[in-house]
Amino acid sequence: MKKIDKITTLGKMMLKDKITSSWDKLLTEKPQDDLMVFYKKRLEHFWRLPDLEKIIGKEKAARSYAAMEEVDVLFEDKGIKPLPPPLGQNAFKKLLREASSGRPIAAYIHIPFCKIRCTYCSFFKQGSSIKAEAEYVTKLLTELEQMRNMHYLKTAEIQAVFLGGGTPGTLTKEQLSSILQKVRQVLPLSSDCEITVESSIYDMDEEKLAACIENGANRFSFGVQTFATDLRRQLGRPDTCEEVVRKLKLFAATGTKVIIDLIYGLPGQTKELLQRDLQFYLDCGLSGVDLYKLQIFPGTPLGNQFKADQSNFPTGRELAELFVSGAEFLSRNGCRQLSCCHWATDDREISRYNTMVKEGAQVLAFGAGCGGSLGNYAYMQPFDLEKYGSLVDKGIKPFVMLFERDEFAPVFAAIKGQFDSGVFEPQKLRSLSEIPFSELLFPLLERWRNNGLMEAADGVYKLTPMGLFWQNQLNRAVMIAVQYLVYGPRVAGRKSALTMMSAMENRT
């Protein structure tokens, strides 16, 4: 018998998880005659957590903002297991030879280059370089071509494509055209596929926009962040308010859908300045707007400024008031709210890609430094361009790690998607699991309703404007409670390293 001299750390982890999972199943085999009692006992462990208020907020608060003011919790995904590269490649190849699962599918194409580094950005990886961009586009086209004729895609239909970054607008019009052409040649796009190109206003011009439209793009997303010239300068944006408005009106006049991102919480920003930004959005005749909270990352120029002096930055309460004032302004002006942070003025705008991602659709991702999912697998591709290129040259899907999701992944995806939409309907989860979520989660949801974060009717919980501000925290709290229901206290209460996939769940 051959002696096994060494078991890798990853192998030990997987073996331990397998043994623990089997033991947990033996200990917690649920009786079919009384599911409610069984699940209530599991949930009791959640309600007895010593730091519960840091997860679900205060039981009673004088104002709705204060209910979640001290919440500080990260969501750790207990339902994913890493597969080492050889096993991962084999599993992925096998999946591509099979028929599609029928689940919705989107595609993401990543362009990692930026000409300008925004002062708040922690994702800056690659400066713009003509040589590097040309080499990268060649590798990207090769990666796309390698998916041609895969049986999984032959039996699927891609409903949305997002060309993001970085800043795709740094590429030439010829490079953008070649990528979009390859996407249309290789991927099975639906007849009404939403094809979005993301860019900064600074990097996009009329010729690039026209080339993208000619090659199938029908939606453009621009990270304006703010129209105020002085605030734009603080963010490292060179173009003035007048230049931004001129370009946006020009792009909107082509008849294509134009979306912008705006940020609230910038240093020195007031409600009046935010509403001025939103008025510019309306005046430019655009299709949709995202309203995002400023994220302050350590080590960035803005992060260093915040660390040195917070006096010019809004407090937590002021952030909430900024968001609520912005949401109410958009509502008064007839904008349709499509998610917790996205509004539309154009009937054509449905934000399909973002909605699909939030609801747990499969995302076939291409390029360096991005993540995707297919079937029951999620994967990450390398940030390093040389590493990415070498894997593409080997003719394999260039991921550095593949994760396998368990059977409860659709439940958590549905919860996340519902909260992002601003409406939580726990009874709809019954189609995914036998667990009586409506009854079991009722005390938690009522707690939030009593604190002004939700309105309820017939088992449907609609987030109030303040609830929308806190939706990420509410979403995480529900998902942690559901972990106790589906996994039991032994697994749900176990601390684990925050993986890249889990970290993505904790962005606010």
Q: Find all residues with CB under 8 Å of 58, minimum gap 6, and list them.
A: 66, 67, 68, 69, 70, 451
Q: How much is the pLDDT for 10?
A: 37
CA angle at 397 for the pair 393 and 402, rounded to the nearest 5°: 140
Q: What is the mean pLDDT of residues 222-234?
A: 96
Q: What is the mean pLDDT of residues 4-11?
A: 36
Q: How many CB atoms lie within 10 A of CB 494?
A: 12
pLDDT band at 84 (very low <50, low <70, confident <90, very high): confident
Q: Measured between alpha carbons, how far is 122 from 329 in angstroms, rounded to an integer? A: 30
pLDDT band at 223 (very low <50, low <70, confident <90, very high): very high
Q: What is the mean pLDDT of residues 463-472?
A: 97
pLDDT band at 494 (very low <50, low <70, confident <90, very high): confident
- Walk me through the domains of the chain, giving residue ranges and CATH numbers: 30-78+408-495 (no CATH), 85-358 (3.20.20.70)
pLDDT at residue 168 greater than cutoff 50: yes
By CB neighbour count within 10 A (0-12 exposed, 13-18 middle, 19+ buried), where does 418 fall? buried
Of 477, 483, 407, 392, the C-alpha closest to 443 is: 477
Tokens standing for residue 1: 């018998």
Query: 121-156 burial string, b = 16+ CB within 10 Å, else e?
Result: beeebbeeeeeebeebbebbbebbebbeebebbeeb
Percent of the chain with pLDDT over 90: 81
Q: How much is the pLDDT for 45?
A: 96
Q: Measured between alpha carbons, how far is 326 from 263 in angstroms, rounded to an integer? A: 11
Amino acid present at 218:
N
Q: How much is the pLDDT for 366?
A: 99
Pure H helices in 241-351:
241-252, 271-283, 301-308, 316-332
CB 453 within 8 A of CB 475: no
Q: How much is the pLDDT for 7?
A: 33
The β-bridge partners of 189 are 158
Q: What is the mean pLDDT of residues 323-342?
A: 98
Q: What is the mean pLDDT of residues 304-311?
A: 89
Tokens standing for residue 363: 């995302």
The β-bridge partners of 373 are 363, 378
Q: Measured between alpha carbons, how far is 344 from 288 in angstroms, rounded to an integer? A: 4
Residue with tokens 């189609």: 431
Pure H helices in 187-308:
206-214, 229-234, 241-252, 271-283, 301-308
Q: Measured between alpha carbons, how far is 388 from 380 in angstroms, rounded to an integer? A: 11
Q: How much is the pLDDT for 496?
A: 61
CB 474 within 8 A of CB 467: yes
pLDDT at residue 503 greater than cutoff 70: no
Q: Which of 8-12, 359-363, 378-382 has the lowest mean pLDDT?
A: 8-12
CB 106 within 8 A of CB 374: no
The β-bridge relationship of strands 288-293 and 257-264 is parallel
Q: Find all residues with CB under 8 Å of 455, minimum gap 6, and list them.
A: 449, 461, 462, 464
3-state secondary structure string across 346-370? CCCCCCHHHHHHHCCCEEEEECCCC
Main-chain phi, psi angles of 189, to 5 degrees? -80, 140
The β-bridge relationship of strands 105-111 and 362-366 is parallel
pLDDT at residue 414 greater than cutoff 70: yes
Greater model confidence, 186 or 30:
186
Of 89, 150, 13, the C-alpha closest to 377 is: 89
Q: Measured between alpha carbons, how far is 251 from 217 in angstroms, rounded to an integer? A: 13
Q: What share of the chain is helix, strand, coil (3-state, %, to 5)?
A: 45, 15, 35
The pTM (predicted TM-score) of the whole model is 0.90
Q: Measured between alpha carbons, how far is 92 from 396 in angstroms, rounded to an integer? A: 10
**Average pLDDT over the chain, rounded to an integer:** 90
Q: Measured between alpha carbons, how far is 67 from 316 in angstroms, rounded to an integer? A: 12
Q: How much is the pLDDT for 73?
A: 84
Q: How much is the pLDDT for 26?
A: 36
Handedness of CA 382, 384, 389, 394 (dihedral sign): negative
Main-chain phi, psi angles of 143, to 5 degrees? -60, -45
Greater model confidence, 14 or 201:
201
Q: How many CB atoms lie within 10 A of CB 349?
A: 21
CB 126 within 8 A of CB 166: yes
Q: What is the mean pLDDT of residues 488-493?
A: 88
Q: How much is the pLDDT for 246?
A: 98
Q: How much is the pLDDT for 119?
A: 83
Q: Measured between alpha carbons, how far is 245 from 260 in angstroms, rounded to an integer? A: 11
Q: Which of 199-203, 293-297, 387-391, 502-506 has the lowest mean pLDDT?
A: 502-506
Q: What is the mean pLDDT of residues 48-68?
A: 92
The β-bridge partners of 225 are 262
Q: How much is the pLDDT for 101?
A: 86
Q: How much is the pLDDT for 488?
A: 94
Q: How much is the pLDDT for 25?
A: 46
pLDDT at residue 368 greater than cutoff 70: yes
pLDDT band at 20 (very low <50, low <70, confident <90, very high): very low
pLDDT at residue 13 greater than cutoff 70: no
